[in-house]
Amino acid sequence: MHTERTVVTDTRIWLEDVEGSEALDWVRARNAEKAADLAATPEFARAKDRITAILDSDDKIPEVSKIGEYYYNFWKDAQHERGIWRRTTLESYRTENPDWETVLDVDALNEAEGENWVWHGVGVLPGADQEYRLAMIHLSRGGADADVSREFDLHTRQFIENGFFRPESKGGTSWIDEDTLFVHTDTGEGTMTSSGYPRITRRWRRGTPMEQAEIIFEGEHDDMSVAAMHDSTPGFERDFVVRALAFYNAELHLLDGTELRRIEVPNSAEIMVHREWLAIELRKDWTPAGTTYSGGSLLVTDFDDFMAGSREFQVLYSPTPSTSLIGATWTRHHLILNILDDVKHRLEVHTPGPNGTFTSEPFTGAEDDAVGTVRVGAVDPKRSDDLWLVTTDFLTPTTLWLARADGEPEKLKSMPAFFDAAGLVAEQHFTTSDDGTRVPYFLVRREDLTFDGTAPTLMYGYGGYEIPMLPNYNAALGTAWLAEGGVYVLTNIRGGGEYGPAWHQAAMRENRHLAYQDMAAIARDLVERGVTSHNRIGVQGGSNGGLLTGNMLVHYPELFGAIVIQVPLLDMERYHLLLAGASWIAEFGDPEVPEDWEFLRTFSPYHLFEPDAQYPPVLFTTSTRDDRVHPGHARKMADLMIEAGKDVTYYENIEGGHGGAATNAQAAHMQALVYRFLAERLGLN
């Protein structure tokens, strides 16, 4: 039995009223203070102009998705602030200046409708003979997670009058046929979970009111979300229902007529169904039929045999202490595995033979540098073995390749160099955390660095949800920080996915502090190497990374000269009551349970702040339209610190959702603000 615990009265709850007049007056007043002073400097203006030019550049790689005979791209630049959805042919895309046809102009739509729509994606119905006509386009007001879905005709390039329309809500749709959708959304009282996501999924037939559509499945109020999707692979058409209880905790069901048949794998596993195959990526050890498979492994078997009771698997990948599976991508005939070995990539091609046995060979071509990243995507997994490969690293402009799983890659597009990388080097280092764990990080510095402890250094981290931090070509960072003489450090702390599920699980709940100890160990290692000194180290993170930097602030203030906290969680006593917060209880713990609160309070920055302690300067950024992580976290912490007379800069963008910005101009403003704040506080220039 759980005992009750004392809850301290929070006098700043009024700042949780997202669009309340008093709260917004507070926001406007804070925005007009130090953030406005930074934005008035000529250095800020130069940085913003350079970043805007990068974001608006026509030389960026327009990444495309194949839909029928066309290759579609969503594009934003100075002339298309909200963006255009456009298409071309592969032949034209191969040229230096493709001939694009605009399918939807979001700026023109906003002008016509008096809205502030932000593109949220599209779902297209595959037609016979690869004729693709019907689409559901998803649009969000101001960039929030909640969006609307509207039926669109790809032939006429117009929204369909009286077509399918899903009103604004968190949720989504999946095509079944031209007159039927699966829909999961808010259809009235009791249809959403405590996390603010759909609890019910329906089969919605054209001409039927959505609220009266046939209910396929109902989850529980305390689930995270429910959804259904249709697999349209010819000859393997199937319907699935997913019930997500929490992150990395979900049930997948096959909808067989009117019967739901549970796919009996651990809730923590990731499931991929491709044609006749079922692939299972384990996050924890599993022992079906007396054989134990380790967490982090990838198993494959025949789907129908599995549903009939077989538990015979082929093991395509097993983790080692230095390796993890970062991605698995099906093409028509192959399964490509993307493996990290000490956070360095290698690709493998696995191919089933006539007897169903998979053979493996390395993927060759388009190899990346030792501290680079390779992303893999299927062009058309139902019909083709073509692959998109994206190679990137800190100093080399990103390149897009078109390849076959069994052929030589074709270089399609490369970004230009947006900053001068001459004289810069990128390298990987390891340090030891407090408990003896070996923790990697990447360091980007000038080749002639004197190692006299004077280099302004920016650390970036996340440390949660099994998300790895991987090298990439960040042109804004390059032009506003590296080219100005700054050092950059990308951290691979526990909680992320750099070493697979175990690396993530090592820093969950009561072990959260281990991620923070890893971050502190890297900061100390940088000083010991002579790269920098503590008063010249800045640390930046957003979302769960904002919780990370918030804990750097309250636990390790002596290690840093400046801290950037973006769209953060900071109040771990009330986080589960705010927007999507309840969906993160499995990651952090439940504040309502006294035993959980005992460890939650040890990494709740809002409760650990001490008015008389010394803290480095802090920049908070968030968005009024963030309906995932509540802006109240940043507001309340900033107000608490300002009242105590600390050096706080606060900026809240009215739009942007969880990403913080809805347009390139807004993104450039936010990024320039961060780099200017860090430059001034760390003595960059």
Q: What is the mean pLDDT of the chain?
A: 94
- Say which DSSP state 558 is in: G
Q: Which of 418, 411, 406 is nearest to 93 (CA)?
A: 411
Q: Which of 253, 576, 658, 669 is catalytic?
A: 658
Q: Quick check: is 462 in a domain? A: yes
pLDDT for position 407 = 77
Pairing of strands 487-491, 438-446: antiparallel
Question: CB burial class (10 A; 0-12, 13-18, 19+) of residue 307?
Answer: middle
pLDDT for position 12 = 96
Q: Quick check: is 12 in a domain? A: no
Same domain for 358 and 496, yes or no, is no
pLDDT for position 587 = 95
Same domain for 447 and 568, yes or no, is yes
Strands ordered across the beta sheet of 225-231: 225-231, 238-246, 249-256, 259-262
- Whether the per-residue pLDDT at 92 is higher than 70: the answer is yes
Q: Quick check: is 399 in a domain? A: yes
497 or 3: whose pLDDT is higher? 497
| DSSP reduced 3-state for 153 | strand
Distance, CA of 451 to CA of 526 (rounded, Å): 10
Q: Quick check: is 364 in a domain? A: yes
Handedness of CA 198, 201, 203, 207 (dihedral sign): negative
Same domain for 424 and 337, yes or no, is no
In this prediction, what percent of the chain has a pLDDT beyond 90? 90
pLDDT for position 282 = 97
Same domain for 80 and 103, yes or no, is yes
**Among the three residues 152, 169, 186, which one is the final residue of a domain in this structure?**
169
**Among the three residues 147, 169, 191, which one is the final residue of a domain in this structure?**
169
pLDDT for position 433 = 98
**Among the three residues 372, 397, 414, which one is the final residue of a domain in this structure?**
414
pLDDT digits (tens, 9 = 90+) for 356-371: 999 999 997 655 446 8
Q: Quick check: is 198 in a domain? A: no
Same domain for 450 and 560, yes or no, is yes
76: its two tokens: 């934003």
Distance, CA of 152 to CA of 157 (rounded, Å): 7
Q: How many CB atoms lie within 10 A of CB 358?
A: 16
Distance, CA of 70 to CA of 74 (rounded, Å): 13
- Say which DSSP state 16 is in: G
Q: How many CB atoms lie within 10 A of CB 75?
A: 17
Q: What is the arithmetic mean of pLDDT over 344-360?
A: 94
Distance, CA of 260 to CA of 307 (rounded, Å): 12
283: its two tokens: 């996050």
Tell me the CATH number at 42.
3.40.50.1820
pLDDT for position 143 = 86
pLDDT digits (tens, 9 = 90+) for 262-315: 999 999 999 999 999 999 999 999 999 999 999 999 999 999 999 999 999 999
Distance, CA of 225 to CA of 245 (rounded, Å): 7
Is residue 658 flagged as an active site residue?
yes
Same domain for 353 and 422, yes or no, is no
Rg (CA), the chain: 25
pLDDT digits (tens, 9 = 90+) for 246-267: 989 999 999 998 899 999 999 9
Q: Quick check: is 194 in a domain? A: no
Pairing of strands 323-330, 314-317: unpaired
- Whether the per-residue pLDDT at 96 is higher than 50: the answer is yes
- Tokens 């035993």: give the residue: 595
pLDDT for position 3 = 43
Question: CB under 8 Å to 387, separation ≥6 — which residues?
Answer: 329, 331, 336, 376, 377, 378, 379, 402, 403, 404, 405
Q: Which of 149, 543, 583, 604 is catalytic?
A: 543
Q: What is the arithmetic mean of pLDDT over 650-668?
A: 80
Distance, CA of 497 to CA of 501 (rounded, Å): 6
pLDDT for position 1 = 32
339: containing domain: 320-414
Distances in whole angstroms, Cα of residue 454 to Cα of each of 12, 425, 443, 481, 629: 40, 18, 15, 15, 36
Q: Quick check: is 243 in a domain? A: no
Domain count, the chain: 3
Same domain for 422 and 403, yes or no, is no
pLDDT for position 5 = 45
pLDDT digits (tens, 9 = 90+) for 136-157: 999 999 888 899 999 999 999 9
Question: Buried b / exposed e across 12-38, counting CB within 10 Å, b at 16+?
Answer: beebbebeeeebeebbeebbeebbeeb
What's the first-to-final CA gap in the chain, in angstroms? Answer: 58
pTM: 0.93
Confidence of residue 130 (pLDDT cuts 50, 70, 90): low
Q: Quick check: is 195 in a domain? A: no
Same domain for 400 and 433, yes or no, is no
pLDDT digits (tens, 9 = 90+) for 484-538: 999 999 999 999 999 999 999 999 999 999 999 999 999 999 999 999 999 999 9
* Range with the poorest average pLDDT among 8-17, 98-107, 469-478: 8-17
Give the helix, strand, coil percentages of the chain, each rounded to 5.
25, 35, 40
Alpha helices, DSSP H only, in 571-624? Answer: 585-588, 594-600, 605-608
| DSSP reduced 3-state for 661 | coil
Question: CB burial class (10 A; 0-12, 13-18, 19+) of residue 548?
Answer: buried
Distance, CA of 13 to CA of 635 (rounded, Å): 10
Confidence of residue 658 (pLDDT cuts 50, 70, 90): low
Same domain for 653 and 632, yes or no, is yes
Q: What is the arithmetic mean of pLDDT over 413-441?
A: 97
Same domain for 478 and 456, yes or no, is yes
Same domain for 404 and 423, yes or no, is no
Same domain for 474 and 569, yes or no, is yes
